[in-house]
Amino acid sequence: MYYTAQHLACARGDRTVISGVGFQLRSGQALILRGPNGSGKTTLLRCLAGLTPAVAGSISFSPDEVAYAAHADGLKAQMSVAETLQFWAKVFGARDVTPAIEGFALEPLLNRRVHTLSAGQKRRLSLSRLVLTGRKLWALDEPTVSLDMQAVAQFAGAVTTHLTQGGAAIIATHIDLGLPEAEQLDITPFRATAQTDTDPFLDEALL
């Protein structure tokens, strides 16, 4: 199973941020997106997740195969950890929440309300949702923010498990997760500068 994108251009708001991006990823492989802040990593991931339509180019997979984890945790302070997991399990039609609990060591937190969790614990809960989606391709935006060394290792373990089970992952991150066979993609060169082809208001004849 291959996941490919070709000549992809993605926009945020009115502006095309990146263009000409392409990659090929097979099951069991991870792709690490590199690039400084503002280089378009988030925009690319949102595009792959189907939240913004691509301006140009083609994607070989459907957004329904992508599990997206954003910067924001998407958690409700008033709900308990167990309630949160059960809610998302129902939304994604997952029967069992135990893999998520085990993968991210949430067992001792189950009955706590989310607002009593630390930032790192919230992050773990948020990431555990990926397991519940049952989707093959994970699109992760800075997943290790506010995780400590141990939790990062745990997260890397969860990603590795996902990869060995035939999944794939696209991860925007600055740190080294030590994933086997991970491929790097620096998206800095794809930053869109000339928008002439996409923006009719930049026509030079227009006065």
Q: Under the criterion CB under 8 A, does residue 73 sit at the interface with other proteins?
A: yes
Least distance (Å) between residue 101 CB and other proteins: 18
The residue from 87, 120, 157, 182 that contacts other proteins (CB under 8 A) is 87
Least distance (Å) between residue 123 CB and other proteins: 12
Nearer to other proteins, 50 or 99 (CB): 50
Whole-number Cα distances in Å, 75 to 34, 116, 132, 149, 198? 27, 12, 15, 23, 37
> With CB under 8 A, what is the number of residues at the site for other proteins?
46
The residue from 91, 119, 153, 175 that contacts other proteins (CB under 8 A) is 91
DSSP string, 12-35: ETTEEEEEEEEEEEETT-EEEEE-
Neighbours of 205 (CB within 10 A): 4
Neighbours of 142 (CB within 10 A): 19
H helices, E strands: number in the chain: 5, 8
Nearer to other proteins, 70 or 105 (CB): 70
Per-residue interface string for the shown chain with other proteins, residues 153-182, x marking contact by CB under 8 A:
------------------------------
Nearer to other proteins, 160 or 198 (CB): 198
Whole-number Cα distances in Å, 197 to 16, 146, 167, 193, 201? 10, 40, 36, 11, 10
- Is 9 within 8 Å of 16 (Cβ atoms)? yes
Residue 63, classified by CB atoms within 10 Å of its CB into exposed (0-12), middle (13-18) or buried (19+), is middle
Least distance (Å) between residue 195 CB and other proteins: 6
Per-residue interface string for the shown chain with other proteins, residues 95-114, x marking contact by CB under 8 A:
--------------------
Window of 19-27, 43-51, 170-178, 182-190 that interacts with other proteins by CB under 8 A:
43-51
- Is 105 within 8 Å of 154 (Cβ atoms)? yes
Binding site for other proteins (CB under 8 A): 13-15, 46, 49-53, 63-64, 66-68, 70-76, 78-79, 83, 86-88, 90-93, 129, 133, 191-195, 199-203, 205-207
